[in-house]
Structure 1
Amino acid sequence: MTIKTAVTRIVKSTLFAAPLLLAPALASVALDGTVLSGLVSSSVAYAQDDAKPQHKTRKTPALRENVYKKLAEVQVFADAGDWKAALKELDELKGDTAKWNGYELAQLWNYYGFVYYSLERYPDALKAYERVVSNPDDIPEGLETATLYTMAQLYFIQEDYRKAVDILTRWMAASPIVGADAYVLRGQAYYSLNDFNKALPDINWAVNDYEGKGKVPKENWFALQRAIYYEKGDNKTVIKILEKLVRHYPKASYWRQLAGMYGSVNREKDQLHASEAAYIMGAVTNEKELLNIAYLFLGEEAPYKAAKIIDKGIKDKRIEPTSKNLETLAVSWRLSQEIKKSLPEMEKAAAKSDTGDLYARLAGIYLDNDMYNKAIDAGEVALKRKGIKREDQLQIVLGMAFVSQKKYDSAIKAFEKAKEDKRSAKFALQWIEFAKSEKERERQLAL
C-alpha cells in the first residue's frame, strides 16, 4: 500500500456518520465524522475556530405544519433505518408538491439526499443535494452551507477531488465559520490531485490552529501533513512530524517509519533508539530489519543487545541460520565476553561455510581459550578448505598452539611459513627464536 492510498483511507474513514433529525423550522444533515448538525439555525457554525463576519439572515419561506407532518412520516422510517420505506414515502410525497414553496421543496430534496446516501447511492444523493442549493434565496444560510459541506464530502467519497475542492472552496466563502476539519478535507483533496503546493497550506493551517490553542491535532492530520512533506522531499520536517506522532499516538508503525527517516539523514543513534522501540513493541519481525538493528547495536558498541536480537530471531525462525548470520552472532557473543555462547555459534558458522576462513578464525578463538588441540584441528581443516584471507596469521596461531603443546618442530615449521608473508615476518622470527630456545631448554633438562 502506498503512502497516498493509506492517507486517503484514513481520511475517508472519518468522514461520514450521522442520523437524520427534523425540526419544524429547519432540518439539516451534516455528514461529518465528528460533528452532527441536527437542529440548525440560519447561522450554522461548523467548528470552533476563528469566525468570519456573520451573514445577514435571509428571509425564507416558512415550513408549513402540514408539510412538516408529511416529512415527519419519512423521519419515522429514517429513525428505524428502513431506508427503502423512507424512499418510497418520499416518492409518494414528490407527486403532491405542486403547491410547496421553495424551502419546503429544499427540505424534501434534503431528505432524498440523506436517504440516497444511506443506501450508498452517492450519485443520486449528490443530485438531490444539488436541488437543495439550486435556489439559495429560498433556504437559510445554514441549510445551504450544511448541504455544500455534505456535497464536498460525497464528491470526496466518489474520488472526484476536483469537484470536492470547488465545492469546499464555495462552502468556505459562504460559511460564517470555517474549522480545521474543512481545511484538512480540502488539503486531502489537493493531495489526491498531486497538487502538494496547495495541499500544504491547508493542512498546516489546521495543525497550527490546533497547536496554537494547546490542542493535539488529530492523528490523520499528522499523517496527511507527513505524507505531503515526504512527497516534497523534506525529510527533516517529516522527522519532526513523526516525532509528534510517536509522542501523541505512539504506534509501532510510526517508530519504524521514524527509524527509517533517521537513517536517511545519518542520525544512527536516533535510528537505533527508534528501531529498538519498534522492536520492543513487536513491530520488527522480518530478517532484514532485525539484522539491521543488530548491526546498529554493534556499531554503537552494544554487542550484547545485538546478540540477543539475532539469537532470538534464529530461535523464532525469523532469521535464517546462515553461515554469515551465525558468524555475526558468534562475534556479538564474543565481544560481550560470552565465550561459552560464542564458540558453538562460530563452530556452526564454520561448518556451513564454503571456505576455510571461518575455521581459521575459529582456530584463533580456541587458542585464546587454551583449547590447543581444537585450535590445531580447526587450523588444519581451514588449510584443507582453502580460501583463507590471511594464511600467515593462521600459521602463527598453529605455531603458538604447537609451542603450548611442546611440539616445537611443528611450531617452527608453522612459523617459517608465516615468515613468508612480510606482514608477519618479524613476529614469526621472534616466535621461531622462542621455539628454538624452548626446545633447547627442554633438551638440557632431559640430560
Structure 2
Amino acid sequence: MVTRIVKSALFAAPLMLAPALSGVVLQDTVFAKHVSAGTAFAQEEQKPKHKTRKTPALRENVYKKLAEVQVFTDAGDWNGALKELNEIKSESSKWNGYELAQLYNYYGFVYYSLERYNDSLNAYERVIANPDDIPEGLETATLFTMAQLYFIQENYRKAIDLLTRWMNLSPIVGADAYVLRGQAHYSLNEFDKALPDINWAVNDYEGKGKIPKENWFALQRAIYYEKGDNKMVIKILEKLVRHYPKTSYWRQLSGMYGTVGREKDQLHSLEAAYMMNAVKNEKELLNLAYLFLGEEAPYKAAKIIDKGIKDKNIEPTSKNLEVLSQAWRMAQEIKKSLPEMEKAAAKSDNGDLYARLAGLYLDNDMLDKAIDAGKVALKRGGVKRADSLHIVMGMAYVTKKQYDSGISSFKEAAKDKRSVKFANQWIQFAEAEKHREQQLKL
C-alpha cells in the first residue's frame, strides 16, 4: 500500500520574514549618519559601490523636533507620536527634501504600528519621491520596508517589484531577500521564477558550510513538488529530517519514497515516525502494517494493528480484523490468529470469512468447529472458492470417520475443475477407508 501525500500534508507555508520596521525606519539616520538598508543581510552578494549622493543637511531644529517624536515611539505611544507628527508637519513648509523625507519616514513607521498599512505605504512613497534628496541608504531601507508591507497585504506583484529595485540598489543583498522574493513568486504560482531565488539562498548557505533555515527548505520543497520533481522533493526532505528531525518530515518522506517505488525506505521512514509516537492515523498505521507484511515481517505488522485497535486508532472492522488474523497466522501465532478471524467473520456480510475460518479450525484439528463454520459459510453465501470450502469440510468429515458426509463434500468440490483432481483423490481415499473399516467389523 502506498501512502498518498496531498499538497496540504506535504507543505506548510513558510513563515514570512517579519517586517523589521523598527530596525529599518528608526535607524541612526535620524540622529547621526545613515546606515545602508540590508545590514541584517550583510553576508552574501557584494555589489559595486554607488556614487555617494550629496543630500541636504538635517538642521539642528528639525533634529530636535523629530527627537520629540522618538520619545513617543520609544514608549509605544503611537497615537501620541502621530499627534506630534501632525503638529510638526504644520511647521514644515520650509523644510528641505531630506528633512521632509525623515518626517514621512516617521509617519510610515507610526502608521505601520497602528496597522494603517495603506497610510504607511503612502508615507513611504513620500520618503522616496525625490531620491536625490536622501541618502541611498534611506532609499534602500524604505524600498525594503515597503516590499514587506506589500507582502503583508498579499500584493505580491508589487512586493516583487520593490524587492527587485531594492536588490539592484543595495550594496549588500543577503539570502533572506532572495527567499522573500522567491516566496512572493511562489504565492503567484510563478514556480519557475521562484526556484532560482530559493535555490540561490540555499546554495549560498550550504556552500559556506551553513545550514539553511527550515522554512527555506520548506519553500524549496513546495516548489519542486508543484513542478512534479519528486526526486528533488525527496532530497530536500532528507535534509529536513537530518537538520530539523520533526516527525511530520519523516511521514512526508515516507510518502514520497512510496511515489517512486522505494518501499524499503518508505517503511523505514514511516517506522521512524511510528517509533516517535507520531503515527496514529488509521490509514498510516495500516499502511505501515502492509509494508511490514510486504517485507515478510508479519509479527511487526500484527503488533501494529493489534495496538492500533486497542488504542482505538484503528477501527475493528471485519477487514482490519481479517488482516490482523492473517498477520498472526503468518507469524505462526495461531492461537492469536483464530480469535481475530472469529470476530472478523462475525462482522462480515457474507460467508467467505467463515470459509477461511473453517480452514483455520481444520489446521488446528478443531474438526467440529471447521464443519460448523463451513455450514455457516454455505448458508450465508458469497464464498469465493466454494470448492475449497467443500474440500476443507470433506477432510474434517473423513478425519472424524464420517465417510459418507466427506464423500458428499468432495463430490461438490469436484464440480469445480480447479479441484476435481484433488477431490477425486480424496473420494477414492474415503471410499477405501470406509471399505476397510467395514471389513474390520466382519
TM-score calculated relative to the size of structure 1: 0.90
Kindly state the Cα deviation for residue 117 of structure 1 after the two structures are TM-superposed.
0.8
Q: Is the 8 A contact 1:8 1:188 kept in 2?
A: no
Q: Which residue of 1 aligns with 2:311?
A: 316
Name the amino acid aligned to 1:16.
P
**Could you tell me which residue of structure 2 aligns to residue 10 of structure 1?**
14
| Alpha carbons of structure 1 residues 272 and 42: separation in structure 2 relative to 1, 3 Å | closer
Output the CA distance in 1 between the equivalents of 2:73 and 2:9.
Answer: 33
Cα distance in structure 2, aligned partners of 1:186 and 1:178: 12
Q: Does 1:251 align with 2:254?
A: no
Between the aligned partners of 1:167 and 1:231, the Cα distance in structure 2 is: 26
Matches within 5 A, 1:261-280: 261-280=256-275
Q: Do the aligned partners of residues 320 and 4 (structure 1) sit closer, same or farther apart at CA in structure 2, a change above 3 Å counting?
A: closer
Structure 1 CA distance for aligned equivalents of residues 11 and 49 of structure 2: 34
8 A contact 1:42–1:57 mirrored in 2: no
Per-residue CA distance 1:217-253 (angstroms, 9 max, x = gap): 1111111111211222222212211221222122222
Specify which of 94, 99, 102 is matched with residue 104 of structure 1: 99
1:141 aligned partner: 136
1:400 aligns with 2:395: yes
* Matching residue of 1:362: 357
In 1, the alpha carbon distance for the partners of 2:199 and 2:54 equals 38
Partner of 2:198: 203
Give me the TM-score of the superposition, normalised by structure 2: 0.91
Residues 7 and 317 (structure 1), Cα distance of their counterparts in 2 relative to 1, 3 Å cut: closer
Show the 5 A alignment for 1:215-226: 215-226=210-221
What is the aligned partner in structure 1 of residue 84 from structure 2? 89
2:23, 2:412 → 1: CA distance? 93
Query: Which residue type is aligned with residue 144 of structure 2?
Result: Y
* CA distance in structure 1 between the aligned counterparts of 2:11 and 2:145, rounded to whole angstroms: 20
Counterpart pick for 2:290 among 286, 295, 303: 295
Identity of aligned residues (%): 75
Q: Describe the superposition over 1:278-333 as per-residue Cα deviations: whole angstroms up to 9, x where unpaired.
A: 33334433333322222222222222222222222222333222211111111111
Alpha-carbon distance between aligned partners in 1 of 2:402 and 2:295, rounded to the nearest angstrom: 42
Match of 1:41 among 28, 35, 39: 35
Could you tell me which residue of structure 1 aligns to residue 175 of structure 2? Answer: 180
Return 5+ residue gaps in structure 1 as ranges. Answer: 29-37
Per the TM alignment, residue 40 of structure 1 is displaced from its structure 2 partner at its CA by 4.5
Which residue is 2:184 aligned to?
189
Counting only pairs closer than 5 Å after superposition, residues 230-241 of structure 1 correspond to structure 2 as 230-241=225-236
Distance 2:163 2:70 in 1: 28
1:342 corresponds, among 337, 344, 347, to 337
Contact 2:24–2:145 (8 Å) recurs in 1:
no
- The alpha-carbon distance between structure 1 residues 6 and 370, as it changes in their structure 2 partners (threshold 3 A), is closer
Q: Which moved more, 1:206-215 or 1:73-82?
A: 73-82
Mean Cα deviation higher: 337-346 or 431-440: 431-440
* Distance change >3 Å, CA 44–CA 156, structure 1 → 2: closer
- Structure 1: how far apart are the matches of 2:408 and 2:102? 105
Give how far 1:25 is off: 5.8
More displaced 10-residue stretch of structure 1: 194-203 or 175-184 = 194-203
Q: Which amino acid aligns with 1:41?
A: V
* Distance across 1 between alignment mates of 2:148 and 2:35: 21
What one-letter code is carried by the residue in structure 2 that aligns with 1:102? Answer: G
Deviates more, 1:201-210 or 1:225-234: 225-234
In the alignment, residue 223 of structure 1 is paired with which amino acid?
Answer: A
* C-alpha distance in structure 2 between counterparts of 1:7 and 1:385, whole Å: 48
Q: CA deviation at 1:164?
A: 0.9
CA RMSD of aligned residues (A): 2.5
Q: Check 1:39–1:304 CA distance in 2 against 1; reply closer, same or farther (3 A cut).
A: farther
In 2, the alpha carbon distance for the partners of 1:5 and 1:94 equals 52
Q: 1:82 to 1:17 in 2, by over 3 A?
A: same
Aligned twin of 2:412: 417
Residue 229 of structure 1 aligns with which residue? Answer: 224
